[in-house]
Amino acid sequence: MISTNRPVGAWGEILGDTTVAAAILDRLLDRSVVVTLDGGSYRLRNHAAQSNELRRVTTVTKFR
């Protein structure tokens, strides 16, 4: 299983060589199933909640 947050079309730019990216993708995608997920990140959602709580606690502590 391979997971990435970059679209397949961007691999050439990321790797710096579109020919190499095409060869890698040709081998990876042969007989594979590509699942594309759309939506927000659970990790970022949890991070935002923790950051907001930390800000709230820090703000309350500063003004006491």
Q: Determine what percent of the chain is predicted with pLDDT higher than 90.
A: 39
Q: Which residue range(s) make up the domain with 14?
A: 8-63
In a domain, residue 46? The reply is yes
In a domain, residue 2? The reply is no
In a domain, residue 38? The reply is yes
Q: Please write the tens of the pLDDT for every residue from 20-42.
A: 999 999 999 999 998 888 887 77
In a domain, residue 1? The reply is no
Q: 22, 39, 28: which is closest to 1 by C-alpha?
A: 28
pLDDT band at 63 (very low <50, low <70, confident <90, very high): low
- 19: pLDDT strictly greater than 60: yes
Q: How many domains does the chain have?
A: 1
- 18: pLDDT strictly greater than 70: yes
Question: What's the average model confidence in pLDDT over 56-64?
Answer: 62
The pTM for the full model equals: 0.55
Q: 36, 20, 39: which is closest to 28 by C-alpha?
A: 20
CA atoms within 13 A on the CB side of 16: 0
